[in-house]
A and B are shown apart, each in its own frame.
Chain A
Amino acid sequence: MGILDSKIPSGPLADKWTKHKNDINLVNPANKRNIDIIVVGTGLAGGAAAATLAELGYNVKTFCYQDSPRRAHSIAAQGGINAAKNYQGDGDSNYRLFYDTIKGGDYRSREANVYRLAEVSGNIIDQCVAQGVPFAREYGGMLDNRSFGGVLVSRTFYAKGQTGQQLLLGAYAAMNRQINRGKIQSFTRHEMMDLVLVDGKARGIIARDLVSGKIERHSAHAVVLATGGYGNVFFLSTNAMGSNVMAAWRAHRKGAFFANPCFTQIHPTCIPVSGDHQSKLTLMSESLRNDGRIWVPKKMEDAVAIREGKLKPTQIAEEDRDYYLERRYPAFGNLVPRDVASRAAKERCDAGFGVNKTGEAVYLDFASAIKRYGKEKAMTSGIKDPDEATIIKLGEEVIEAKYGNLFQMYEKIVDENPYKTPMKIYPAVHYTMGGLWVDYNLQTTIPGCYAAGEANFSDHGANRLGASALMQGLADGYFVLPYTIGDYLSKDIRTGKIPTDSPAFDEAEKLVRDRMEKLMSGSGIHSVDYYHKKLGKIMWNKCGMARNAKGLEEAIKEIAELRKDFWENVKVTGTIESKNQELEKAGRVADFLELGELFAKDALHRNESCGGHFREEYQTEEGEALRDDENFKYVAAWEYVGEPKDAKLHKEDLVYENIELKTRSYK
């Protein structure tokens, strides 16, 4: 097993978690009062973990760079959260959710973790309802569900198009209850600058107060990193502007292995790029694929006419449209997993059928759903023989009730009315399946340093299914980490408070100060954003939806050169000892410039295509991903040894005892 001991409990799959909870050590309530835990990041995973740990009796300190814990980017998740409740009676079960997630992840995730996720999923919904999360309901007062990609049941719970917001506000409310009790100290507008190790264990962090610029030392018996993903390495993504890899990367540099960095999700339905000024991309929820049909013109001349503004999509006859997902994947149609849908869009656009000025957009069309709902509504409202206008009016009302806020968002950004003309969409970087390597207890390779939510790598393999991120964040935060961490902390009941005046803290603080001074002392030629955009271009062109060995080798070289240029020539205005957004950005981009190189290295070494990782050299004749289970059925966990390109590979072999490895098919 070596260093990578995944600590998966023995026994049958369905009993592992129960058995493990019975076997691990507990900390008694009186001793919990003497133990401090730092939680970095206050999204679903961090917020939920902080609230639960505080409720259990630990002293918790939370840190977030935002001005309030409630603003973490979990808030932007739109579509929903999966749970194997089987409320719809459509044959759902924990096993099916487990199976769908492993298959959706293209057989690159750990069976035991995923089963546990499925097992606690139902509990999440119970918990959130008890907390007052206003999920959508049916007229009988019961909870409503919808479908997401890659599955054949309806197991997604939702709160309009704002499910992440409502779940985060739930976790935030649970945190507030503990803040009010004095069990959580919340540090907002604070950024973790480094992890502090004492005798090889995570014992605290160096943080910067982003308002005063002051460097602070905070100690604890364990540190939880719930700091989200690293999609912003692409500059343009659906992540928040502040989303960054700093906390995870600092931990990586201190000894935490980074797993599968190249597994990145490119989400199929985002608003296309409009120009060079663009600062971020906006997602249109996958839930829209329940009712929207994706198409491009069948005839090249129509596509050209549309791009030139001579033809409108509504003028193209039904038989001249290519509903390419329904054509290629009849069983799942528009609800294929995200990686499949994204690649199919790229394939059509590369073939010249794109429908906007840049040629990089496809249509997402609601016309037939509006008609279908309109007819149904007319019938249930007792309107006999409704005319076309009535049907469309009624249908639009149904669509508005389901997706109103998304349609409004689209109209504000694009300045077109999606009720009347199809939406234009294109894939964009959305989520990172890779992250810090963790064992079954969510502990990284640094003792006492845990990673939860998107920040870890564990549950989604090479592709995440829709409505699973919220599920994983809350599962880790509410139900997994608060118990597994007790096993570690049970050895710390006599340790006492960790002092912050030790040499380890001195040294960590000095490194942080030196690094900031170095950032400020660049020759001052280019802005931070200049470098970030350049990095993003390399990543998108060479490490994006399709990758090949030549491009990846170039990327590794180009990123290393760009990083050197950055450290010599970046211009950071202002001072260290004050509020300074340029300095904040510079620190984050510096780490992206290292992560990007490891990302490309990981993608280069994985000579197969799986999930979101598509290597052009490895595809079937129909252009589907060609997995290589013989050689790559493992987690690639990278150890930092200096330059990212020199990182040392450790393999965790993935064992499938309960699921037969198959070629993923959604046909």
Chain B
Amino acid sequence: MVDEKPSNKQQTTNNYITMKLYLKIWRQKDASTPGKIVDYTLDGVEGDMSFLEMLDILNEELVSKGEEPVEFDHDCREGICGTCSLQINGEPHGPDRLVTTCQLHMRKFNDGDTIVIEPFRANAFPVIKDLIVDRSAFDRIQQAGGYISVNTSGNTVDANCIPINKHDADEAMDAATCIGCGACVAACKNASAMLFTSAKVSQFALLPQGRIEAVERVQNMVRQMDLEGFGNCTNTGACEVECPKGISLTNIARMNREYLSASLKG
């Protein structure tokens, strides 16, 4: 009954001692000014801090010196709002898997590490300031058709009049967990938004309510995705690896199938 195994294998010795880190951070005044990497040294970092709390401490130091702090996007700090981003040592959301930057903890790093912190890089995600990028292209893709055209007046049928096979409902839910952070785009050598768009298309394609507009939806969303300047998909799979919510490549296959069948119908 008693569990004798150490329950937390990942606990490293650097958990309760502090670390000194060498940070190389992208600073850029605004969209029209060229940016550059600036070096900072930060002492006293603890393993229990999140990556963003580490940046908070850097910023407190900068403010106390009268310098402008490093701006980065963040909000919920519990991995669900999709606001935080950051390319950390070349990886979106850093070295850990299935986490956003706000859930990445400093125990994943070691004393004396150099950490390169950049914004997500993609033509369709222009830099606004420092580490903040404009991801409104994702909103426009969804505005093009990422919904079911039902009025919100409440005059619909009873919810249980639309039975849905549990497997389909679960798969739709898996696709719907996408947080729209853009890591898939930042991970892709082509800056493709196929994983994001296909997750949205899939959620509705898998549900009976969504089938009615399926043809127009996939065509409109893919058209908008191309207009925004995202690259093409070459099935490298980096997006799936870096996705903090584990969105599966299967969604891309499903969207391709939906798109092809829409083209034939259409």
Which A residues contact B (CB, under 8 angstroms)? 48, 51-52, 55, 66-71, 73, 75-76, 85, 87, 120, 123-132, 134-143, 159-160, 162, 165-166, 169, 172-174, 176-177, 179-180, 186, 188, 211, 238, 240-242, 274-275, 277-280, 282-283, 312, 314-315, 408-409, 412-413, 415-417, 420-421, 478-479, 524, 527, 529, 571, 573-574, 578-579, 581-582
Contacts and interface: CB of A to CB of B under 8 A. Distances in A.
A123 B149 CA distance: 17
B80 interface: yes
B66 A573 contact: yes
Contacts of A421: 3, 7
Contacts of B56: 277, 279, 529
Contact of A409 (B103, B148, B204): B103
A134 B77 contact: no
A135 B176 CA distance: 11
Chain B's interface: helix, strand, loop or mixed, by majority?
Answer: loop
Q: Which one of B74, B80, B170 has the highest number of Cβ atoms from chain A below 10 Å of its Cβ? A: B80
A68 B75 contact: no
B170 to A, nearest CB: 8
A479 B142 CA distance: 24
B7 A52 contact: no
A135 B147 CA distance: 16
B233 interface: no
A475 B60 CA distance: 41
Given A130-B148, A279-B56, A581-B69, A413 B154 contact: no
Nearest to A242: B75
B166 A139 contact: yes
19 contacts: A55-B152, A67-B135, A67-B136, A70-B139, A127-B150, A132-B209, A132-B210, A140-B163, A143-B159, A165-B80, A176-B143, A176-B146, A188-B136, A211-B129, A277-B48, A409-B103, A412-B105, A415-B8, A573-B68
Contacts of B173: 134, 136, 159-160, 166
A48 B152 contact: yes
A175 to B, nearest CB: 9
Given A68-B180, A173-B142, A179-B143, A277 B53 contact: yes
B115 interface: no
B99 A73 contact: no
Nearest to B81: A71
Nearest to B169: A137
Contact of B69 (A274, A283, A573): A573
Interface in B24-46: 29-30, 46
Contacts of A165: 80, 177, 179
Contact of A73 (B75, B148, B180, B210): B75
A27 B67 CA distance: 54
B147 A68 contact: no
A70 B132 contact: no
A408 B250 CA distance: 23
A75 B166 contact: no
A55 B153 contact: yes
A162 B177 contact: yes
Q: Which one of A76, A132, A571 has the highest number of Cβ atoms from chain B below 10 Å of its Cβ? A: A132
Contacts of A134: 169, 172-173, 176, 203, 207
A196 B92 CA distance: 42
Contacts of B1: 314
Contacts of B160: 85, 87, 142-143
B50 interface: yes
A315 B147 contact: no
A240 B52 contact: no
Contact of A52 (B105, B148, B152): B152
A238 B180 CA distance: 21
Contact of B152 (A413, A478, A579): A478
Nearest to A186: B139
Contact of B48 (A76, A274, A314, A478): A274
